[in-house]
Amino acid sequence: MSDTDGKKPLGLGGGPRSGSVKQSFSHGRTHAVVVETKRKRVVVPNPAKPGAPAGGGSSGASHLGDPSKRPAGISDAEMQRRLDALRQAKAREQEEAAKRAAEEREREEERQRRREEIETKEREDRQREAALRARAEEEERQKREAEEEAKNRAAARKADVLGTQRRQPAAPAPAAKPAEAEVPGDRGAGQSRPRPGAAAEGPAAGGPRPGTTPRKTDRERENRETDRGAARRGDEGRRTGKLTLSAATSEDGGRQRSLAAMKRKQEKARQKAMGFGQKAEKQVRDVQLPETIVVSELANRMAERAADVVKSLMKMGMMVTMNQVIDADTAELVIEEFGHRAVRVTDADVEQAIDSVEDKAEDLVSRPPIVTIMGHVDHGKTSLLDRIRKANVATGEAGGITQHIGAYQVKAPNGQVITFLDTPGHAAFTSMRARGAHVTDIVVLVVAADDAVMPQTIEAINHAKAAGVPMIVAINKIDKPSANPTKVRTDLLQHEVVVEAMSGEVQDIEVSAHTGQGIDSLLEAIALQAELLDLKANPNRSARAAVIEAKLDVGRGPVATVLVQNGTLKKGDIFSVGEKWGKVRALINDKGETVTEAGPSVPVEVLGLDGTPSAGDTLDVVNSEAQAREIADYREKASKDKRAAAGAATTLEQLMAKAKADKDVVEIPVIVKADVQGSAEAIVQALEKVGNEEVRIRILHYGVGAITDSDVGLADASGAPILAFNVRANATARGSASQKGVEIRYYSIIYDLLDDMKEAASGKLKAEIREHFIGYAKILEVFRITGTGNVAGCQVTEGVARRSAGVRLLRDNVVIHEGTLKTLKRFKDEVKEVYAGQECGMAFERYEDVRAGDVIEIFEREEVQRTLA
Ligand code: GDP
């Protein structure tokens, strides 16, 4: 070790602390630095040993300090030097500590300053809000003042600018100064420190900071540089340092800011400083809110920034991005938070396109009543309808041949037009009602005078009552000798139908569909009832109609028979109907004539649909094809959702219960095809009712139209028969059906179909096993016979004992064994039967424990085939 190297760490005492300095940095980081010193080589003449090298000897000694501790061979001068060094190091250390303390203070001040800034800002924010809320006038006044001030200042600056430009180039004005002076002035009094935001406005606007003074000259130089640059760019003319040619030309080029621009800038800066942004003119918007919405779309509709919306959602605990979908409830909260109004809209709003304006009383005109005929099977509904139609044709209509379109119009003797619905059975009537089509105004209840009230009569009464439709009772088959109309009337009383003949209010007419007797009176009664109902509609509006039948016609495509309920349906109208839509291509009336329009209560066939709607669907005329399509799409989706929801078992428990119940149920799969939708639905509804907890009919598929190959395929795959109602299989389907052995059953009467299916279902029922007791025997004694086991010696007390029969052993009236007989002996002979009073020997199959006094019960089992009720 030698001190001549001059780089020796200050470690004279040997202690490491003496030479290291602890540095502190921001964020609490520290760093220990080993301080090294570079010493000048000092030559001190040694009086004892002149010429001795200054740092050479280790033998040099000094008595400064503790001579006893002085290392041997160190001279006094050397010692002195080392001690000096030590002192210097200490002094430096102290100096550094002081510096550190100063730095620490500085940081503390900085922190304090920031705190103050934040506080000031918060205070400002608060003040701003207060000002915003309560002091609109004050604000206005301030604005005016500020404008004035800005104007003055701008004017002053302009003068200043002009002055500066004319100033000597040698006297550059520190550009930061004016800016520095302005900004605090803008913020008003009571503000000692510039805000950080303001610092950006001028290069030196940060204000003097402790410890930055030494760099001031640099800054100034910098400023000057910038100024020159700015001047070159023709930016802030007032900062011009030197008047150069380019500066002069650029000035002349008019690139200087206009007074108005300055004013605008000032105003903007002021508003920014005051925090008056768009907030001041914030608009409250009505935000359309669908069931779900994408966050960015929501922001868009509120005219807010998407980031702000995301932030507010996050505050609510929802971590979402701009592109995520949120539900309407959450969105509504956000909308409220932003101070807007949420307006909920649903998909169903597409249906609003349908004109639902109430008609004014003066627009309404009378319309014909719509009549449905109901009653028990074979009471003469069809015959009566035919008779009415024929009678009407006979009254002089041209052509005379009427087409079956499911409804037709006739004229009553008094001239009143009446619309008869030719379709519905009761099920169809109700299913139409279930779809919201209140088509029927009056129900004619047909009761056969020779049969009186029957189950379906009661059903019809209930349907009519449930629909709140007035009834007229037609007592039919009055021509029959066995007719007893009085019985009909009294029978009806039991079902709360009090006819006029029984001093009630329900009209009752005796008619005969065969002879035509009473038909006119019936029509008159209907006309009277219609008058009472005062039925009205507005023919001068877009039409609304109810579908009463729909079918897929080979030549014409989907065809729907509709009954116009309000307005007038015209050729070319665009409409939505249930889940379908269309444009009226042609209208055909009940006489088979093509018409151009159909008014209220008029039945017409409509051509031009995109698919087969369902009976009971409502047809609404809309404005455009797009609307019609939209409505149809929406309805289709909605009904799909509904079906899916209905099909899904809600709980696991329900699912399991259903599975358990299903296990024991025998299902008969069938496919139903019918000529019209109404029939198909009626059949399906009736079939669904067939069966009990053991057997049921499962409709795999039902539809309208001819049986196709795909129906046959489905039937084959599931081993189902096809039930065809008034339809036939096409050639290919017929071929493949016979090839695959698929059964197609043709019907034209619903009841036949139902009866057949009931029978089939009955066939699937397990046969019931019934027991008959055929005799009793009493055990008198028990014998033990080798090879046979215990044999009971008994006497038949009742009936007969048969060897093939089942036996039960009863002891004290408790069944202790049930089985069959091994032997039945009478005097050592095996016999088939032993009658009452006789004695016999009996042994049980695989059972020995028989005792005297036990009773044997002899019974037979019988299988009984059950049928469905
Ligand atoms: P629906 O099942 O109610 O439609 O009854 P139908 O119209 O098919 O008639 C059933 C049976 O009753 C048919 O055989 C008709 O001929 C007969 N029928 C219907 N009306 C009368 C009538 O007024 N007098 C007589 N004697 N028979 C009638």
Comparing 508 with 729, which gets the higher pLDDT? Answer: 508
Q: Can you tell me the distance from the alpha carbon of 501 to that of 508, in angstroms, rounded to the nearest whole number?
A: 7
Residues 736, 738: Cα–Cα separation, whole Å: 5
**287-301, 434-448, 506-520 — which one is most confidently predicted on average?**
506-520
User: 281 falls in which pLDDT band (50, 70, 90)?
Assistant: low
CATH code reported for the domain at 286-345: 1.10.10
Band the pLDDT of 780: cuts 50, 70, 90: very high
pLDDT at 434: 61
For ligand 1, the distance from its centroid to the CA atom of residue 739, given in whole angstroms, is 41
The answer to whether residue 607 scores a pLDDT higher than 90 is yes
φ, ψ at 754 (rounded to 5°):
-65, -40
* Contact yes or no for 64/31 (Cβ under 8 A): no
The predicted pLDDT at position 597 comes to: 92
Minimum mean pLDDT range among 104-113, 318-327, 432-441, 609-618: 432-441
Q: Give me ligand 1 centre to Cα 383, in Å.
A: 5
pLDDT at 496 over 50: yes
Strand order in the sheet with 471-476: 407-411, 417-421, 370-375, 442-448, 471-476, 507-510
Would you place residue 207 in the very low, low, confident or very high pLDDT band (cuts 50, 70, 90)? very low
So what's the pLDDT on residue 430? 63
Tokens for 769? 């096993």
Q: What is the DSSP string of 95-127?
A: HHHHHHHHHHHHHHHHHHHHHHHHHHHHHHHHH
Locate 400 and state its tokens. Answer: 């005379």
Confidence band of 153 (pLDDT split at 50, 70, 90) = confident
Distance between first and last Cα of the chain? 123
| Distance between CA atoms of residues 263 and 157, nearest Å | 11
pLDDT in tens, 3-28: 444 444 444 444 444 567 777 777 77
Nearest CA to ligand 1 atom 25: 477
748 within ligand 1 shell (Cβ under 6 A): no
State the pLDDT at residue 614: 82
* Token output for 280: 């001041």
Q: Is 514 in the pocket of ligand 1 (CB under 6 A)?
A: yes
**Average of pLDDT values for 237-253?**
56
Topology of the domain comprising 538-648: Elongation Factor Tu (Ef-tu); domain 3 (2.40.30)
Task: Using the structure block, give the residue that is written with the tokens 């049928």.
Answer: 867
**For a substitution probing ligand 1, which of 383, 457, 482, 754 has the most ligand atoms within 8 Å of its CB?**
383
**Residue 375 counted as an annotated binding residue:** yes
Do the beta carbons of residue 573 and residue 390 sit within 8 Å?
no
Higher-pLDDT residue of 187 and 542 is 542
User: Does residue 454 have its Cβ closer than 6 Å to ligand 1?
Assistant: no
Strand duo 370-375 + 442-448: pairing: parallel
For residue 266, what are its two tokens? Answer: 């000032």
Q: Is residue 79 within 8 Å of 65, Cβ to Cβ?
A: yes
Most trustworthy range by pLDDT among 33-47, 152-166, 574-588: 574-588
Task: Report residue 493 as tokens.
Answer: 């009383």
Q: How far is Cα 860 from Cα 775, in angstroms, rounded to an integer?
A: 10
**C-alpha to C-alpha distance for 674 and 728, rounded to whole angstroms:** 9
Query: What confidence score (pLDDT) does residue 553 get?
Result: 80
CA of 513 to the centre of ligand 1 (A): 7
Domain 371-534 sits in CATH at 3.40.50.300
Residues 44 and 63: their CA atoms lie apart, in Å, by 16
Q: What is the CATH number of domain 768-864?
A: 2.40.30.10
pLDDT score, position 350: 67
Give the CB-side neighbour count of residue 497, counting CA atoms within 13 A.
28
Give the domain ranges of the chain. 1-41, 45-62+81-162, 286-345, 371-534, 538-648, 651-763, 768-864
Question: Helix, strand, coil proportions of the chain in percent (round to 5)?
Answer: 40, 25, 35
Per the CB < 8 A criterion, the answer to whether 428 and 681 are in contact is yes
Q: Enter the pTM of the model.
A: 0.45
pLDDT of 176:
41
Residue 436: count of CB within 10 angstroms of its CB: 10
Q: What is the pLDDT of residues 797-856, one digit of tens each?
A: 988 998 888 898 888 878 888 888 888 888 888 898 899 889 999 888 888 888 898 999
461 Cβ contact partners less than 8 Å away, ≥ 6 residues apart: 445, 471, 492, 495, 497
**Residue of the nearest CA to atom 27 in ligand 1?**
477
User: Pick from 70, 67, 71, 73: which is nearest to 55 by CA?
Assistant: 73
Q: Which atom of ligand 1 is nearest to the CA of 515?
A: 23
378 lines ligand 1 (CB under 6 A): yes
**479 confidence band (pLDDT: 50, 70, 90):** very high
Spatial separation of the C-alpha atoms in residues 256 and 250, rounded to whole Å: 8
Handedness of CA 584, 586, 587, 588 (dihedral sign): negative
What CATH class is the domain 651-763? alpha beta
Instruction: Give Cα separations from 593 to 75, 385, 631 (angstroms).
Output: 142, 21, 31
Residue 390 C-alpha to ligand 1 middle, in angstroms? Answer: 15
| Residue 417 reports pLDDT greater than 60 | yes
For residue 49, the CA-to-ligand 1 centroid distance in Å is: 159
Query: Has residue 364 got a pLDDT over 80?
Result: yes
Question: Per-residue pLDDT tens for 764-774?
Answer: 776 777 778 88
- For 168-195, the pLDDT digits (tens) are 444 444 444 444 444 444 444 444 444 4
**Alpha helices, H only, 303-345:** 306-315, 328-337
Q: What integer pLDDT is reported at residue 37 of this predicted model? A: 65
Q: Report the phi/psi class of residue 59: left, alpha or beta, with left for phi > 0 and alpha for psi in -120 to 50.
A: alpha
Q: Can you tell me the mean pLDDT for 454-469?
A: 82
| Mutation choice for ligand 1 from 373, 376, 377, 378, CB with most ligand atoms inside 8 A | 378
- How much is the average pLDDT of 615-633? 86
Q: How many other CB atoms sit within 10 Å of the CB of residue 775? A: 22
Query: Per the structure block, which two tokens stand in for 577?
Result: 């109907």
Q: Does 423 belong to an annotated binding site?
A: yes
Helix (H) or strand (E) holding 374: strand 370-375
Task: Tell me the average pLDDT across 391-398.
Answer: 52
Judge whether 478 is annotated as a binding position: yes
Lowest mean pLDDT among 17-31, 78-92, 366-380: 17-31
Would 371-534 and 651-763 be classified into the same CATH topology? yes
pLDDT at 384 over 60: yes
pLDDT at 796: 92
What is the overall mean pLDDT for the chain?
Answer: 77
Highest-confidence range of 210-224, 513-527, 638-652, by mean pLDDT? 513-527
